[in-house]
Structure 1
Amino acid sequence: MAEKRNLIVGLVILFLFLGIGLLAVFAYFSSGAGYAETEDGVFAIGAKVAIVDVTGIISSSSEVVRQLKKYAEDGSVKAIVVRIESPGGGVSASQEIYDAVLEAREEKAVVASMGSVAASGGYYIACAADTIMANPGSLTGSIGVIAEFPVFGELLKKIGIKTEVIKSGELKDVGSPTRPMTEKERAMIQSVINDTYDQFVEAVVKNRKMERQKVLALADGSVFTGRQAQANGLIDALGNQEDAIRLAGKMGGISGEPRTVKEKKYRRRTIFDFAAEEIFGKGMELPEEWKDLLSPGLKYLYKM
């Protein structure tokens, strides 16, 4: 009897440990993306320049804002380089990162470094930095706002689908894809675009210390190379990312070649990714930024 009881207890303990192990594996594979901090040396202690990446279509501000705040409060970080490789994106997300850069500037020097493209919302963010540096061939500018609303009402009619809308006000379903926009709706959307456009222009005027009329002459959506942007007063200097790091180090009082620190994004495949591949095959999932891009809304976005 005692042997049977011991066997049962042993099996219970075994299954308990197996269950804990399976939960640990599940937690690991469902944890998805994260950030790990990396430095340019194993013993990279002391004064450093932090690098914060703004990459791709700007659909969210939370991670960039978090990093800017962290490095602004880190005593070992003497300056920050905001590396921008982005055509812009959502208006609000761009503005939130812009505000975070301004707040970081209150604590330490901030240099914006432009990659291949730092346009529209990407340029909006750069305006908040103490200094903007771009490669001669970087594409920047594209000061303006865009909103797009797909219309496929005629297609729905052809396949026998119609929609009925019950709304609280005349403009409640503005931008509906099932019908053309009315003149009143178009005027309302245009007024919103005009206001957010003015906010963009004001940010450039304030931070670049330029006359409003000069900014307006450049703010028709035009893109500029880095060299053209410098000639127009939109950026301060030409140089690559290493040049920006050295400049930031100098502005932060670091002598010699500055050490750097940055967070590197990693992406573990989740258990849900494996399941989706089994059901739908590989490559079926849209990136989050593209999901945001395809949704209606105002955007500081450069489009070729």
Structure 2
Amino acid sequence: MIIKNILAAIGAFFVIIIALVIVLVLFKSGRSDKVVVVRLDGVITDSAEISEKLRELRDEDDVKAVVIRIDSPGGAVGPSQEIYSEIKRLSKTKKVVASLGALAASGGYYAAVAANKIVANPGTLTGSIGVIVQFINAEGLLSKVGIKGHTVKSGAFKDVGSPFREIKPEETAYMQAVINDVNNQFIKAVAEGRGMKTEDVEKLADGRVFTGAEAKTKGLVDSLGDLTDAVELGAKLAGITGKPHVIYPEKKGLGVLKTVFGESVSEGVFGLFSGARIMYMAP
């Protein structure tokens, strides 16, 4: 009986030891230095979701580096600037690498310049530094079906870009001044983020897209490589030794139209007839 109790005690002891080892291994793996990949995809129309994610990552001590994977032609100015600001804040506490996919242009590139480093594929299309605003004049079409618009406004420029009439010369001059101001904000962000002279950025800020290889020669990206290279660079910058624990984003199902257009059809149609929409957007 005594021997049986001793054997039971020894067995229980080893079970406890094994359990403690398992707990320690799980704890260590759960707290290991991580590299998190965050995606910025499609037309930028809203910044809320990605901004919230970036803010959460700032407070996670086990996350040492963040890779922003960008596949975007750009989009609305405000959301692009908000994403840029969040990446810039994050880069003060974590190492942030922007990984440019097939297309990372205009507002997509604007966001990238806030990162510590930018990695692009040789064939990535990037750049497109500039601003665009487009109007639709449907006056002729509407008149053919007997529709005529009437506007009551509080100021001379309140209905700039109305689809019911031609734009006036003074309105074009007014909008050009607004666009120039927003464009200067873009140029300033690139100059600061890339450590370039403003005049050098201005020479590139005519809306042109560049391949990743061209962008590297012009100082717009740091190195050529794919997502794996960007992850390894982030780990290196963060001082992670060995193979990093990489966290990839969950795949989310998207509707066909949102996948193609980056926004709902109703939003897109409304946008066409809502007047001025100033965009950091590749053509």
Q: Would the TM-score normalized by the shorter structure come out above 0.5? A: yes
1:250 matched to 2:241: no
Instruction: Name which of 87, 104, 116 aligns with 2:102.
Output: 116
**Structure 2 residue matching 1:140: 3-state secondary structure:** strand
Gaps of 5+ in 2: 1-28
1:96 matched to 2:65: no
**Structure 2 residue matching 1:81: 3-state secondary structure:** strand
Using the alignment, how far apart are the partners of 1:283 and 1:217 within structure 2? 37
Instruction: Check whether the contact 1:90–1:297 (CA below 8 A) recurs between aligned residues.
Output: yes
Q: In the alignment, what sits opposite 1:288?
A: 263
Instruction: Name which of 117, 121, 129 aligns with 1:131.
Output: 117
Q: 1:118 to 1:199 in 2, by over 3 A?
A: same
Instruction: Name which of 185, 188, 204 aligns with 1:202.
Output: 188
Instruction: Check whether the contact 2:258–2:264 (CA below 8 A) recurs between aligned residues.
Output: no
**Structure 1 residue matching 2:250: 3-state secondary structure:** strand
Q: 1:196 to 1:75 in 2, by over 3 A?
A: same
Q: In the alignment, what sits opposite 1:240?
A: 226
Using the alignment, how far apart are the partners of 2:262 and 2:128 within structure 1? 24
Gaps of 5+ in 1: 1-42, 270-281
Give CA-to-partner distance per residue, 1:39-75, whole Å, 9 cap, x none: xxxx664111011100000111011111111112111
Instruction: Check whether the contact 2:257–2:265 (CA below 8 A) recurs between aligned residues.
Output: no
Using the alignment, how far apart are the partners of 2:224 and 2:206 within structure 1? 23
Q: Name the TM-score, length of structure 1 as normaliser.
A: 0.78
1:266, distance to aligned residue in structure 2 (A): 2.6
Q: CA RMSD in A?
A: 2.1
1:152 matched to 2:113: no
Q: In the alignment, what sits opposite 1:184?
A: 170
Instruction: Check whether the contact 1:58–1:289 (CA below 8 A) recurs between aligned residues.
Output: no
Letter matched to residue 78 of structure 1: K
Using the alignment, how far apart are the partners of 1:151 and 1:56 within structure 2? 27
Q: 1:118 to 1:284 in 2, by over 3 A?
A: closer
Letter matched to residue 278 of structure 2: L
Q: 1:70 to 1:193 in 2, by over 3 A?
A: same
Using the alignment, how far apart are the partners of 1:250 and 1:289 within structure 2? 40
**Structure 1 residue matching 2:171: 3-state secondary structure:** helix
Using the alignment, how far apart are the partners of 1:190 and 1:290 within structure 2? 29
Q: In the alignment, what sits opposite 1:298?
A: 278
Q: Name the TM-score, length of structure 2 as normaliser.
A: 0.83
Instruction: Check whether the contact 1:89–1:293 (CA below 8 A) recurs between aligned residues.
Output: no
Moved over 3 A (4+): 282-287, 289-294
Q: 1:293 to 1:197 in 2, by over 3 A?
A: farther
**Structure 2 residue matching 1:149: 3-state secondary structure:** coil
Instruction: Check whether the contact 1:60–1:93 (CA below 8 A) recurs between aligned residues.
Output: yes
Using the alignment, how far apart are the partners of 2:156 and 2:89 within structure 1? 41
**Structure 1 residue matching 2:93: 3-state secondary structure:** coil
**Alignment: residue pair count:** 249
Q: In the alignment, what sits opposite 1:9?
A: none
Q: Which aligned pairs between 1:12-91 and structure 2 lie closer than 5 A?
A: 45-91=31-77
Using the alignment, how far apart are the partners of 2:56 and 2:182 within structure 1? 29
Greater shift, 93-102 or 158-167, is seen at: 158-167
1:215 matched to 2:215: no
Using the alignment, how far apart are the partners of 2:178 and 2:266 within structure 1? 23
Letter matched to residue 302 of structure 1: A
**Structure 2 residue matching 1:288: 3-state secondary structure:** coil
**Structure 1 residue matching 2:246: 3-state secondary structure:** strand
Using the alignment, how far apart are the partners of 2:45 and 2:252 within structure 1? 18
**Structure 2 residue matching 1:230: 3-state secondary structure:** helix
Greater shift, 131-140 or 163-172, is seen at: 163-172
